[in-house]
Structure 1
Amino acid sequence: MCNGKIRSVIEIYTSRFEYQNAKVVLRSVVNDVSLEKVSNSILPDLNEVNTPWLKIIENSDDLRSAVLQMRRKSFGSELKSLPEDSRLSDYEDALDRHYYKSAIKTLKANNPATRYLRDYLAMEIDHRNMLNILEADSIGITSEETANMLIPGGKILPTRSFSTIATGGRSALLDILRGSSRFDMAHFETLLEQVSKSRSLDSVVTWFKEREYKFMKKMSYLHPISPLPIVYYVAMKVQEVADLRIIVRGRFAGLPPEVLEEHIL
């Protein structure tokens, strides 16, 4: 398909799918989801790429045994270094940190296309950190645990702000966001009012996905002679599959069309 520098940049984006597969495996093991159910849905056994992942599920007795079977993965040592009594969320946070750290480190070239992809990753990181802070605030976890959930590399929430945010929680987050010129704080506060009423972060998650989609869409035309249009194509194909899953599962569950539309980009 492609090689050289173009391939290396594209792989920075596509490598995330291996991390996502690792999360699927860990969640399946923790929740005791049958191998048959996983192989017939999110990791179809018709795709040979999924075979090693399905074998991990088949051969795992618990979360730690699944982690040890991933030791040869790029993120294997990161997962193995966590305490044996770590929770699923700890492993998922470690996967996120490892992916973004590796991706940003690889994007060293100083050209417009690379900078744009770095900015996109920074947006994703900021969004994840905001959601983590809101979730931490809602369940009342400690400032130390909150700090461990945060991922370095964002622009709106730089690493130097982490200690302040971890200590001050949601109010500290909002103070920092109010000082940012690149964030629609008014709309965000409106969404937070909805969150308070519904006790669900769905509206915030959907808005973040819309922001990422608009940013990603520009990759299709801003730098045509670069890897970005290919990254955009891959991302949109993945999104199509995700939307189809939402539609099929939503209709099966009896959700009305307007609810499904709210969750589809």
Structure 2
Amino acid sequence: MDDYAYMNARIRAMQGRLLGPPAYQELIARESTADLLEHLFESPYAQALELTRSRLSAPGSPLAGIGQRGTEHGSLIDRALRHELVRRLSKLRRYASDRPRELIETLALQWDTYNLKTIVRGKRANAAVEDLLASTVPVGALDEIALAELARAPTVQAVVDTIATWRYPIAQPLREGLKAYGETESLQPVEFELDRWTFAEAFKRVSAGDANDLVVRDFLRLLADKANILTALRYLHSRTALSPIEAARHFLDVKGRFTRVQFQTVVAARDLRQGLSLLGDTPYALIARKFALEESVALPRIERELEQLVLRKALALSRQDPLGIGLPIAYFEQQINEVRNLRMIVRGKALGLPPEGITEWLVSWS
């Protein structure tokens, strides 16, 4: 308990610097990204914004003068948010003693996987380096510098080769998935191999231990359930991605609440809408009810609802044991979601989306 008392007291202070849903609505109400930037300069992100602007405006910087034109406000904000995210979660690690820090690092594994998926998808789509980095969450072993180097790699194979030279264990599942990618031209095998390695490694790290290890195991099972649900629904969204047999092989069997039988039932649906409705017979019926009356169903919206569910679970863990690992889990999820929400607000403003159109894409903890 002593390991967590000091850390959790510090985390509660850090939670006080989160903006939260009311502030999101204030930002959404701003007329432009320039106005939004001005408002953020009055928030806890002011120091990060000022530091980022100073760096980018330094003599010789290729982005000198950034923030002076409307299209560049978003780039300034995104870079500042990325740096502040790294800074805050680095503080979280420093506050943690040995075992709590190990558990936090275990949870951070998922973000290395997320970032690699983002970069691989971007390479396939020939996305610009800056656009790729704007979608990453550099809070795992792959830091900002490493992700920037991977984003500059010319091909997916070059990404794999670069990670291999660093002797990162995650290079092996990426390589295995890439072999299947060459055979199917689908990124599903690549993403599954990354997920399978990530969860196997994470569960290995918490295979035995105290009540806090058990909390992390249960949370990991929820994350695996989320991944399994999305795998099934992505298959239904694009029937050419995987055959039913292949899809069944891509089930993460971690003894979660979403069982293999339920997974196979959803995969066998005739389309995405029916597959979603079949979730009504699982512990994730809330997701099915959410979209039951909507005319159209978009896969990214479903993913947002699953992220909302994960965030609620994390917050519930923090209330169940305020002197355990639950509070660090909650803060980790809150901080990452805040940065992603702020990015969404900035992009929504730049695209001219109406306030309600931006709000529906946010993941909130209220």
In which range does the TM-score fall when normalised by the shorter chain? 0.7 to 0.9
Q: Does 1:91 align with 2:190?
A: yes
Instruction: State the partner residue of 1:223.
Output: 321
Instruction: State the partner residue of 1:6.
Output: 100
Q: What is the alpha-carbon root mean square deviation over aligned residues?
A: 3.0
Which secondary structure state, in structure 2, belongs to the residue aligned with residue 32 of structure 1? coil
Instruction: Give the TM-score, by structure 2 length.
Output: 0.61
The one of 218, 223, 238 equivalent to 1:124 is: 223
**Cα deviation digits, residues 167-207 of structure 1 (max 9, x gap):** 734778966862x5xx253x444345356x31413443333
Q: Is the deviation greater in 237-246 or in 92-101?
A: 92-101
Q: How many equivalent residue pairs? A: 255
**Cα deviation digits, residues 2-35 of structure 1 (max 9, x gap):** 3321111111112222222222322232222233
Deviation at 1:108, TM superposition (A): 2.0
**Cα deviation digits, residues 223-248 of structure 1 (max 9, x gap):** 23323322222221111100000100
> Where does 1:120-199 land on structure 2 (aligned, <5 Å)?
120-140=219-239, 141-159=242-260, 161=261, 164-165=264-265, 168-169=268-269, 178=281, 180=282, 183=283, 185=285, 187-194=286-293, 197-199=295-297
Paired residue type of 2:211: P
> Is the 2:311–2:330 contact (alpha carbons within 8 Å) kept by the matching residues of 1?
no
Computing the radius of gyration from Cα coordinates, the structure with the larger value is 2
Paired residue type of 2:116: A
Deviation at 1:117, TM superposition (A): 2.2
Q: Write the distance in 1 (CA, Å) between the matches of 2:120 and 2:135.
A: 13
The runs of 5 or more residues in structure 2 that have no matched partner are 1-93
Residues 233 and 81 of structure 1, relative CA distance in 2, 3 Å threshold:
same
Q: Is the deviation greater in 137-146 or in 241-250?
A: 137-146
The runs of 5 or more residues in structure 1 that have no matched partner are none
Residues 126 and 115 of structure 1, relative CA distance in 2, 3 Å threshold:
same
Residues 154 and 192 of structure 1, relative CA distance in 2, 3 Å threshold:
farther
Q: Write the distance in 2 (CA, Å) between the matches of 1:230 and 1:44.
A: 17
**Cα deviation digits, residues 57-78 of structure 1 (max 9, x gap):** 33x3321221222222221111
Which secondary structure state, in structure 2, belongs to the residue aligned with residue 123 of structure 1? helix
Q: Write the distance in 1 (CA, Å) between the matches of 2:137 and 2:267.
A: 43
Instruction: State the partner residue of 1:68.
Output: 161
**Cα deviation digits, residues 46-98 of structure 1 (max 9, x gap):** xx93222222333x332122122222222111122231616433222221221
Residues 153 and 44 of structure 1, relative CA distance in 2, 3 Å threshold:
closer
Q: Write the distance in 2 (CA, Å) between the matches of 1:135 and 1:57.
A: 25
**Cα deviation digits, residues 137-186 of structure 1 (max 9, x gap):** 23224112212332222522234x378448734778966862x5xx253x
Instruction: Give the TM-score, by structure 1 length.
Output: 0.81
> Is the 1:97–1:152 contact (alpha carbons within 8 Å) kept by the matching residues of 2?
no
Residues 164 and 207 of structure 1, relative CA distance in 2, 3 Å threshold:
closer
Q: Write the distance in 1 (CA, Å) between the matches of 2:290 and 2:253.
A: 25
Residues 150 and 169 of structure 1, relative CA distance in 2, 3 Å threshold:
farther
Instruction: State the partner residue of 1:78.
Output: 173
Residues 21 and 136 of structure 1, relative CA distance in 2, 3 Å threshold:
closer
Residues 38 and 125 of structure 1, relative CA distance in 2, 3 Å threshold:
closer
Q: Write the distance in 2 (CA, Å) between the matches of 1:259 and 1:150.
A: 33
Q: Write the distance in 2 (CA, Å) between the matches of 1:167 and 1:35.
A: 35
- Among all aligned residue pairs of Structure 1 and Structure 2, give the percentage whose two residues are the same amino acid: 19
Instruction: State the partner residue of 2:203.
Output: 104
Residues 254 and 201 of structure 1, relative CA distance in 2, 3 Å threshold:
same
**Which protein has greater RCO, CA pairs closer than 8 Å, 6+ apart?**
2
